[in-house]
Amino acid sequence: MTLASLERVEYVEQAFLYKLLRERLADQLPMQELLEQARYELLATCKLPMAIDYLLTELKHSGLMSPAMYKMQHYFTPFQSYLVSQAESDVGRFTMLGALEILESEANFRITEGNPQGMFLFQFEVLCRNRLNYDKGLTAISGDPIFDKDWANWILKLRSQIGLVDFADLLVLASDEYRRQLEAAGEPTDGKGPFLFGQREGVIAIGNRRKDPLFLFAAMQRHLGYPPVPRPKPRDETPELIPALMRRVERLESRIKLMEEERRGGLDITKFYEKHKNNLPDLEV
């Protein structure tokens, strides 16, 4: 069975699972415990509970989920596995909460039978916003069963062009709008393309050339209707702020107390070393 043959119920349960994990993970609960609890809340008639059993086995063995996801490519896409592996990595700032939020949005898009154009732009924007590796990320995207052979080849070719050619230009050259312009100019279309995007996407890309790519993504999201890409949230330092303030207040109180004793003339500095005087070495004169 390939991922393309998964029934709608599988995507509905996946979206529910990712949302459940994201909400409960915020309470600092261990992932192993969350998966064990979530397993009983999912439909027993779908295949996701069996996938969770395999994830739990790998999680107990190595402490990671991504190796098991990579082995279940008949159920999880390479891009889903790649996001989890990056969240589990000790390098980088990509968090598991961010990965789960993205996976939830992607699963909801699959429920609506999302198109390849919207799926690619959603996944590519995820790489850009979260500063993930383009080479590994695009390779993972190309393995998604929603993309046919032409799509996969174009995505893999994109790895060597990102950073050298404006992304909007790359979209224009792969759109029906570019083919229309060639035909209107009487030029052959042989050897051009592949024309994977529609005329509408080509026009939007032309209007966003030499601009910030985020403007292009925003326009594409509005017109193609794929879900907005969750944006990385700044780290909440509030839990660490109160203990730090308490330590500072304690130090200030100690300093104020010393200043008051000195002002009254009652400051005895010998009390700071009296208990250590027996440990001092004998000095020979």
pLDDT tens profile 99-114: 999 999 999 999 987 8
pLDDT score at 280: 53
**What are the tens digits of pLDDT across the range 140-156?**
999 999 999 999 999 99
33 with 95, same domain? Answer: yes
47 with 156, same domain? Answer: no
Residue 10 lies in a domain: yes
Q: Is the pLDDT of residue 36 over 60?
A: yes
Q: Which helix (H) or strand (E) holds 250?
A: helix 238-263
Q: Considering only CA atoms, which of 145, 84, 94 is closest in space to residue 116?
A: 145
pLDDT score at 181: 94
99 with 189, same domain? Answer: no
Q: How far apart are CA 48 and CA 69, in angstroms?
A: 12
Asked if residues 99 and 137 have their Cβ atoms less than 8 Å apart, the reply is no
166 with 209, same domain? Answer: yes
Average pLDDT over residues 240-245: 80
What is the band of 87 on the pLDDT scale with cuts at 50, 70, 90? very high
Residue 166 lies in a domain: yes
What is the band of 2 on the pLDDT scale with cuts at 50, 70, 90? very low
Give the least confident one: 63-77, 224-238, 249-263: 224-238
Number of compact structural domains in the chain: 3
SS3 87: helix
186 with 149, same domain? Answer: yes
82 with 119, same domain? Answer: no
Give the least confident one: 23-27, 76-80, 132-136: 23-27
Average pLDDT over residues 25-35: 87
123 with 228, same domain? Answer: yes
Residue owning tokens 């924007």:
125
Give the least confident one: 21-25, 129-133, 178-182, 241-245: 241-245
Q: Is the pLDDT of residue 175 over 80?
A: yes
Give the range of the structural domain holding residue 225, as residue numbers without chain letter: 114-235
68 with 138, same domain? Answer: no
Global model pTM greater than 0.85: no
88 with 157, same domain? Answer: no
Query: What are 98's two structure tokens?
Result: 């961010």
What is the band of 203 on the pLDDT scale with cuts at 50, 70, 90? very high
Residue owning tokens 């996938």:
51
- The identity of residue 11, as a single letter, is Y
269 with 190, same domain? Answer: no
99 with 207, same domain? Answer: no
Asked if residues 54 and 68 have their Cβ atoms less than 8 Å apart, the reply is yes
Q: Is the pLDDT of residue 1 over 50?
A: no
Residue 285 lies in a domain: no
Residue 216 lies in a domain: yes
Q: Considering only CA atoms, which of 276, 267, 255, 227 is closest in space to residue 102?
A: 227
What is the band of 285 on the pLDDT scale with cuts at 50, 70, 90? very low
Q: Is the pLDDT of residue 237 over 70?
A: no
**What are the tens digits of pLDDT across the range 38-84?**
989 999 999 999 999 999 999 999 999 999 999 999 899 999 999 99
Residue 197 lies in a domain: yes
91 with 119, same domain? Answer: no
pLDDT score at 148: 92
pLDDT score at 270: 66
